[in-house]
Amino acid sequence: MMFQYNCNEAHLINWLLSQNKNQAQCLFPKNKGWKSELQLYYPTSEQPFLAIHFQHEEDELLFIPIDSGTPANFLSNIIPQKIAKFFPKNKGQICYVTSEKTAGQIEKQWKSKMKESALMVLFAQKVEFLFGEFDNARFEYRLSKTVVDSELTSQRVPSVSSKDLYGNSVIPFYQRIFHLINYAFVTGEKKILLEQIVQDASIYWPLLHKKDKKLIQESVLQSFKHLQGRYFQGLLRLEESKKKEQSQPNWWIILEGNLNQRKEAQHYARAQGHALGWLRHENQQILISGDEDF
Amino acid sequence: MSPTKRLTPKIQKLVGLDPILDEDYSFFHPGGNDHYIQFFLKNFPEEYWELDAWDRHNLFLQDLMLDFGIEFTLDEDGEFAEYYESDSKGAFTIRALMDLSDAHIGLLYLMGESRHCQKFIQKLKESNSLHPCYFNSNFLQEIADTFDVIEEIHYSFEQLPSSHHHPITLKGQVKGAVAGSLLPMLQDKHPDTFNLVEIHGQTKDGSMGTIALKEEGVLFAQALRLSSFLELTSQVFTDLQNKYASLLENNINEIHFSSKFQSIELAGLPIEQQISMPVDKIDNLLRQFTAGIKPLFLIGNYERTTRELWTVMSTELTSGKQIQLEIGRGQIRFLLSSSHSISLMEKIEQFIARNIGRLIS
């Protein structure tokens, strides 16, 4: 590749997740009992982050992804402090992982402040340690045998934050929203609660703060207010309902189209593509920020 | 234990064989009857699985009656169901036995004239609760290895003109003794495009009867030793059980939360397969999975998530089943959201094997 490989935290997590499968050629083979768990940390008001935890009997490892949006103080101060509460050093190894491009940016800082910590770097076609190494030599061996193709990594986990490099982390979220609406549409439902759809579309929903949940709901509502008239005329529309005069409004998506008619179904599929295009263009970012510490 | 242990005596009874007799001479008296077996995946609506087996199967059979007017009678244990159809003179045209005893795979045995049986199966296939199991090319070739003589092969590959710059077609059928020798030749010469969809051959029991397997989960036999037919059925059944058990255990994506450490456990791995012939025009392939068009009738959306990978979320228009795919030029990944996605995955596998390129796991 001509340019330095770059990716966001979700992509790093996804690559690590792909290392926990049933085949032998991976770092943490599932058939040998390795388990993975995704963790979501809210250490400051501004910066939620993901981490991934691998475990097998006594062996434990925690990986913390770093992308270009991770601020410097966060890296050297906040993360180690917060992580120490849940994952003390004697529990297992903590590894930081980043992409080729970001590694270049943080190298200096690492040399001065973080040199004790291991830093693994994901390139387009390989993975290497820039600082430190695996405590367990077995992983070093497995790493040397691992075939890496970063661009083909399965995107199972979406990004959690607003600091997304491609500016399109919002699209997979809307893809899932449409996926859920499609199910309702095809199975003949006439109306669905927008709030419920948004909840189901986010895999992190139960872990989010109330404030963030509200923010996301509001953002999706605004998008749909725009989309209904622009792309989905005659197919779906929003409707407001209130139980009582003074209560909070509920927003329903009313499904009006008939997907049994082939033309209408195809029209709807196209409209969905256009809607995603508009969302991409608008590049709205759903900001997630927690103000509580835990 | 053989999965057909309890089915066998029931079929023998239906055919009119005495199971106590040691020798099976069924091939002497074919009596104009053909034997059909259709394997299918139980695709019952979610709420049916909350019921006990008898209620679940009874509801399913009632659906069949309402939709197609076919009335099966379920036995006391709720595991086997029977159906008889006769002509105006009272002679049986179809005798059917459905084995619902396995948790996920169903089997329909039909005895009668071929055209009646085919019509009957065709009708039942329209049910959303039945998904015919897919026998891919590799599976059919493995079975072919157990035959004494291969008598006939059908192969079908017709690349989508919209997805490849130079679409290739390799379709045909070969009958007669030459089929057996041509099969390995075709395979070697066209490893990327040879797609076996039907195979006929003689079993090694010396009865000279022919048995046929079709990609849509069908076993079909005319005059042959019934015991050989059931033996092969048992073998196929076991293979299918293993395949689906593994899919259900390892590949259904689920999310488990634990609030204590704000953690999420992702169960279920994506299923990854390589496509032997890289796609030239990926947009057109993605349209097949999202635009609601023939033959898949899938509706949904797609997004390029990396330079090499597109994420597709599709819903089947006819049934509401859903699946998530990740497609690159030379590979496809299936992310199954529930057991219902399995049938959709097989439908897509079949489409790719016929229209894009050979799938290699």
Contact between chains at A151 and B265 (C-beta distance less than 8 A): no
Provide, as residue numbers in chain A, all residues whose Cβ is less than 8 Å from the Cβ of B258.
37
pLDDT exceeding 90 applies to what percent of chain B? Answer: 65
Whether residue A179 lies within 8 A of chain B, CB to CB, comes out as: yes
Q: What angle do CA B330, B335, B336 make, to 5 degrees?
A: 140
pLDDT of amino acid B353 = 95
CB contact under 8 A, B313 and A175: yes
In this structure, are residues B22 and B227 in contact, taking their beta carbons and an 8 Å threshold?
no
Ramachandran class of B206: left when φ > 0, alpha when ψ lies in -120 to 50, beta otherwise: left
Q: Mark yes or no for CB contact B315/A183 under 8 Å.
A: yes
pLDDT tens figures, A64-91:
998 887 777 777 777 777 777 778 878 8
Report the distance separating Cα B107 and Cα A286, nearest Å. Answer: 50
Residue in A with minimal Cα distance to B264: A38
Phi-psi region of B300 (alpha: psi -120 to 50; beta: other; left: phi over 0): left
Q: Using an 8 Å Cβ cutoff, are B1 and B94 in contact? A: no
Nearest to B307 among A40, A151, A207 (CB): A151
- What ipTM does the predicted assembly reach? 0.89
CA distance B101 to A280: 50
Three-state SS sequence of A37-56: EEEEECCCCCCCEEEEEEEE
Residue to substitute from B257, B269, B333, B334, interface A, most A β-carbons within 10 A: B269
Residues of B in contact with A259 (CB under 8 A): 292, 299, 317
Q: Is the dihedral of CA B281, B283, B289, B292 positive or negative?
A: negative
Q: What is the pTM of this model?
A: 0.90
The DSSP bridge pattern shows strands B130-132 and B263-267 to be unpaired
* 8 Å CB contact of A266 and B291: yes
Q: With an 8 Å Cβ cutoff, is A34 touching chain B?
A: no
pLDDT in tens, A87-135: 887 888 999 999 999 998 888 888 888 878 899 999 999 999 999 999 9
- Kindly state whether A151 is in contact with chain B, defined as any CB-CB distance less than 8 angstroms: yes
How far A279 CA sits from the closest chain B CA (Å)? 12
pLDDT one-digit tens code per residue, B6-55: 888 888 888 877 766 656 666 666 566 788 999 999 988 888 989 999 99
For residue range B72-121, what is the model confidence (pLDDT) as tens digits? 999 999 999 999 988 888 888 889 999 999 989 999 999 988 888 999 99
Q: Which helix (H) or strand (E) holds A104?
A: helix A100-109
pLDDT of residue B333: 95
Cβ–Cβ of B300/A182 closer than 8 Å? Answer: yes
- Reported as a single tens digit per residue, the pLDDT across B272-295 is 999 999 999 999 999 999 999 989
